[in-house]
Amino acid sequence: MLYDVRRNRRTDLQIVNDGDFVKVGKKHFRHVSGAEVKYDCNAWAWRACDSLWQTLEVAVSNVRREAR
């Protein structure tokens, strides 16, 4: 049997602890620049910067890049 060996990451807790994001609601975060990251349950993806991203970690990194 093959097992998926991924580390269990809580990206949602980490981005809030970093201090540049605030949790606004369930699966909804706001960056200090005003950009928002929300989970789109119809697309099963994270919506940020007018794009869809597969994971929260990628969406957050793109919001941080755009905010510079």
Domain ranges, residue 24: 11-67
Residue 27 lies in a domain: yes
Domain count of the fold of the chain? 1
Residue 47 lies in a domain: yes
Residue pair 14/6 in contact (Cβ under 8 Å)? The answer is no
Mapped onto helix, strand or coil, the DSSP state of residue 12 is: helix
Say how far apart CA 13 and CA 4 lie, in whole Å: 23
pLDDT above 60: residue 17: yes
Residue 56 lies in a domain: yes
pTM tops 0.85, yes or no: no
Residue 1 lies in a domain: no
Residue 17 lies in a domain: yes
Q: How confident is residue 68, by pLDDT bands cut at 50, 70 and 90?
A: confident
Residue 32 lies in a domain: yes
Say how far apart CA 58 and CA 3 lie, in whole Å: 23
Residue 6 lies in a domain: no
For 34-64, the pLDDT digits (tens) are 999 999 999 999 999 999 999 999 999 999 9
Residue 3 lies in a domain: no
